[in-house]
Structure 1
């Protein structure tokens, strides 16, 4: 066997063993050997290397196979061996956190985006990261790298945000700016793409290979996972569901609520729902207030929200027909009114789709983007960790 092939097989086996230990909670060398059909000497050698790397540890004694027999030692995954910095840059807030190798958020910070956007945004991101490292009493040696989510279309290969209306960015060199503050490996992607990665790793999309995450907030975007892999498209703009045209009649007179936003966004996004109702009643209201009015049977709120949800349902029906996902997850600010959305959207979808598809609300809170950014880093970097 050639050296290169032997090294590759060794790395693959090491990954499999580490994954086995992660999934097994407490597992012995003999269990690993049986489960993976690897020889005991091979398992023993690679386990010793993982112990030296501090990626696993031995935990007490297991159950004895025979009365009076020697009790085997259990192996456990050391999720605190390394950490990842996850950053979610949103139009309203920048959320950052440090996760361990299990994706658990060990430290969290946030600050308002617009207040820092034109001047010291990246200095503030750096300050947040340093503050979290101090809190956890760790330095860069313990950090594998940085994962970052940004709104808008992002050229992942070049690290450039092509357009992010919420941040007023066009062809913005996000990765280059991040390298000025972090001397670490960096991975960048669209914020909704990292959301679907986070759901697949730690959320309700776990163990599902075909998954769509749709964020309904100021705009509407989606992340698409096909056969366990993120689908970005040929120009990194796959999943721009906000641009779907869901009504031929209304499309003739279409004018975006905000420059750069698409047809579906201009009817069904949170900002659009708020604006449409504000125009009708002559008073500024938010989407949250619009849904509250809806619950009170407010005539104008019912009209605006019914139209928004009908168009959203048609958009989701198109997605189900095209991608045949196992699950659609709804996130973003508008998803907090999920009970109303679910009530209307599911029935409309059933009329237009060849098969039904489960639609659920995200179970993640404010830390969603941080977990997703960490998932992005581990997915894109060639590490021992399979997620």
Structure 2
């Protein structure tokens, strides 16, 4: 066997051992050998390497066999060996966090986007990351890299944001800017794509192979996972549910809420609800206030929100017809009114879709984008287990 092949096989076997330990939480060397069909001496040698490099930790003894004898020592994955920075760049706020390798958010920061967008956005990101590193008492050597989510179409190959209306970005070189700021490996993607990755990794979509994440906030977007893989489309714009047309007559007079926004988000997003209710009542109202008025039975709020949710429900039902997912996850700011949205979606789905689909609320709060960004980094970063 050639030297290069032997090194490759050794590396792949180490990765298999790590994956095995991560899946089992705690497992003995003998159990790993049996599960992977590798010899005990091979497992012993590779596990020793992984222990030395701090990927694994020896923990308390496991159970002895029925024949008796010494209890085996269990192995666990060392999630604190390295850390990853997750950045969720939203139109309203930038959420940032540092997580361990299991996705536990060890530190979190947030700051308003528009206040820093024009002059010192990336410097503010750097300041917050440095603050979190100080809090955790870790230095750059412990940080593997950065994952970031962007509210717009993102070409991950070129590292550019094709268009992000909420940030007024077009052909923006996001990876170059982040690399210049942090000097770390960077991976970026659309914010809803990262959310579906996060849910599939450690959220409510775990162990699901076909799922859709719909974010309802300033706009409306979605991430699609098919057979366990993120589906991005030919031009990285798969999942742009905000562009669905849900009423051809209404669409003839359609004007986007903001430049670059599609039909569905212009009639059912948070910004659309806010704009419509403000116009009806003659004063500035947020989507949150509109839902509060709805619950009080306000006639104008009921009219605006019922119409918005009907369009949204038709869009989601179309997704059920097209993709037949196991689960649809609703997230974003407007998902705070989940029970109301859920009822409308299920009613429409029962009427129009060929079958039902489970519709659930996201399992994450404001840290969702951070966890998703870290999931993206782990999904894309080939050097994670360069061992």
TM-score of the pair, normalised by structure 1:
0.97
Q: Is the 8 A contact 1:15 1:384 kept in 2?
A: no
Aligned to 1:229: 229
Q: Distance in 1 between matches of 2:330 and 2:253?
A: 28
Aligned to 2:305: 305
Q: Distance in 2 between matches of 1:195 and 1:68?
A: 48
Q: Is the 8 A contact 2:192 2:222 kept in 1?
A: yes
Aligned to 1:382: 382
What SS does the corresponding residue of 1:147 show, helix, strand or coil? strand
Post-superposition CA distance 1:110-161 (Å, at most 9, x none): 1111111111110010011111111111111111111011111111111111
Segments of 5+ residues of structure 1 without an aligned counterpart are: none
Q: Distance in 2 between matches of 1:384 and 1:183?
A: 17
Q: Distance in 1 between matches of 2:63 and 2:346?
A: 50
What SS does the corresponding residue of 2:144 show, helix, strand or coil? strand
Query: How many Å apart are 1:41 and its aligned residue?
Result: 1.4
Aligned to 1:144: 144
Aligned to 1:366: 366
Query: How many Å apart are 1:90 and its aligned residue?
Result: 0.7
Aligned to 1:33: 33
What SS does the corresponding residue of 2:75 show, helix, strand or coil? strand
Q: Distance in 2 between matches of 1:211 and 1:64?
A: 41
Report matched runs for 1:280-291 at 5 Å.
280-291=280-291
What SS does the corresponding residue of 1:60 show, helix, strand or coil? strand
Aligned to 2:269: 269
Give every structure 1 segment of 4 or more consecutive aligned residues whose post-TM-superposition deviation is greater than 6 Å: none
Report matched runs for 1:58-207 at 5 Å.
58-65=58-65, 69-207=69-207
Aligned to 1:51: 51
What SS does the corresponding residue of 1:276 show, helix, strand or coil? helix
Post-superposition CA distance 1:314-336 (Å, at most 9, x none): 11111111111111100001000
Segments of 5+ residues of structure 2 without an aligned counterpart are: none
Q: Is the 8 A contact 2:317 2:345 kept in 1?
A: no
Q: Distance in 2 between matches of 1:153 and 1:40?
A: 49
Q: Is the 8 A contact 1:350 1:356 kept in 2?
A: yes
Q: Is the 8 A contact 1:14 1:384 kept in 2?
A: no
The RMSD of aligned alpha carbons is 1.3
Q: Distance in 1 between matches of 2:383 and 2:360?
A: 31
Q: Is the 8 A contact 1:153 1:161 kept in 2?
A: yes
Query: How many Å apart are 1:345 and its aligned residue?
Result: 1.3
Q: Distance in 1 between matches of 2:163 and 2:209?
A: 29
Aligned length: 385
